[in-house]
Amino acid sequence: MARHLITSAIPYINGIKHLGNLVGSQLPADLYARFQRARGHEVLFLCATDEHGTPAELAAAKAGKPVEEYCAEMWAVQDEIAKGFRMSFDHFGRSSSLQNRELTQHFAARLADAGLIEEVADQQIYSKTDGRFLPDRYVEGTCPNCGFDSARGDQCDNCTKQLDPVDLINPYSTISGSTDLEMRETKHLYLRQSQMKDQLSEWIESKDDWPVLTTSIAKKWLNDGDGLQDRGITRDLSWGVPVKRGSEDWPGMEGKVFYVWFDAPIEYIACAKEWADAHGKPDTEWQRWWRTDLGADDVRYTQFMGKDNVPFHTLSFPVTILGSGEPWKLVDYIKGLNYLNYDGGQFSTSRGRGVFMDQALEILPADYWRWWLLSHAPESSDSEFTWENFQASVNKDLADVLGNFVSRVTKFCRSKFGEVVPEGGTWGEREQALIAELTTRIRAYEGFMDAMDVRKSASELRAIWVAGNEYLQAAAPWVTFKEDPAQAAAQIRLALNLIRLYAVLSGPFIPDAAETLMSAMQCSDDTWPDDVEAALSALPVGAAFTVPEVTFRKITDDERIGWQERFAGARE
């Protein structure tokens, strides 16, 4: 049994996320976690909300609430939506937790002791109108690299280039919109990333199994231009982890907090401690996942994230881990994903363009969205959501292939043999050929899932469903029954077992449907099919089943047109 530590990029607390955010990290991470659990492996799957920094402050101010209150409310909202999409987190934490505060301050002390933090007199943008220094996300402007006119002061969302506010062209305050800005001196702590370049480069080069997207972004920021730059890790804000050197005050840093991108990745570790504390577990329980001197040396750690997060997870966070000099677990594999675009353009939170996670659950159950998003995951390139494609995929894959198979088999059996697994007949060449095909396809499916090839996994799973339909059509038990009822019973017995098999295999993609099918087969044996022939005899003769309700309904043209119009513009 292997041990898998899995983390999804932690979403910002400010508001409800759209489907592009979901498929960019949480959903493929959940797919992988569910698959590894189904294979019998030990899994710790962690996620949290990213609550510090300017996004939280700005959103709280807009909502007219204290930032602590706003974050607590939005954590509850995001937690509920995650449950709605059936995210199987072992713990959904908060970066504002006491555990993360203490661990962040601990890492800062270790890095300072190692000479990797220095105090720098910095020039920072000051807004005369607002009467305050403006941290990076309080400043927006035009990206000097690609010309995008809504680049943030820390990073351009269009080209992913890391920025400083002073790099922006025509900068303005996001608080007041004022352009009356000037540079003033302030002091901040800098993480001396440049000192770790050789060690980082050696570590990244050793990851020859990483996706091209991940390594290309990492190497770009490591080697392009002036190479890896030292990075400020403090900000002039009131909301965040107070700057301390462990438990001690840090002279000259009073009133400052750690930069959100310093403390946020540390939450991955802190989240495990939150999980242990919440369940009354000793520290050794979470430490065996994160400390290689306490058992984490046999853990396989996989991170999932959108491409905009890759630079921080391949460079800044590893600097924190390596620079601490402590035996913390480093990531083994980073699954970076591209962007999901929306119906000829981009999802836009500010303009309410596209489908947001809460709205998606209002109009269709989670499995419909999970299937489409995962089967169209933006892996090798950006992908695009269109309502026409969504309708076609749901109707053809889920309703016509899987749902129709379940309906035909169970209803035919009920009408001819009753709601029990029928006895009689034997398997012949056709059944053995199906077993051989399924064995080949299931092994391929496992390989794609282990490799986190999400779209290929979905395609193989669909092919497994199709194989059952093709068998049913060729065997035609409704014809066989007229001349040889016993043989028809054997065919339907195999088909009923296929329903159970499909439930087990499909669980990572469509967990609600899988549970419904297992319940209909009145079976609790969810053993993974290492032996396909044995799996197709899991339901014994005489075992009762029920005919399930419609597994997946079709999306009508009127519904599609209505949704397309509804989500084209401003969010309701």
Residue ranges at the known binding site for ATP = 349
The CA distance from 156 to 362, in Å, is 32
> What's CA 71's distance to the chain center, in Å?
21
Residue bearing tokens 């270790």 = 110
Residue ranges of alpha helices (H) inside 451-484 are 454-475, 477-483
Q: How far apart are CA 476 and CA 363, in angstroms?
A: 36
Q: How far apart are CA 182 and CA 279, in angstroms?
A: 50
The rounded distance, in Å, linking the Cα atoms of 31 and 371 is 11
DSSP state of 178: -
Three-state SS at 132: strand
Q: Which residue ranges make up the annotated binding site for Zn(2+)?
A: 143, 146, 156, 159
Q: Please name the amino acid found at residue 140.
A: E
CB environment 195-226: b (16+ within 10 A), e (fewer) = bbbeebbebbeebeebbebbbebbeebbeeee
Q: How many CA atoms lie within 13 A of 367 on its CB side?
A: 22
Q: Which residues carry a binding-site annotation?
A: 143, 146, 156, 159, 349
Of 502, 497, 491, 501, the closest CA to residue 428 belongs to 491
Rounded to the nearest 10 degrees, how much is the dihedral formed by the CA atoms of 526, 527, 530, 533? -70
**What DSSP letter does each residue of 240-289 carry, written as one string?**
S-B-EETTEE-TT-TT-EE-HHHHHHHHHHHHHHHHHHHTT--HHHHHHH
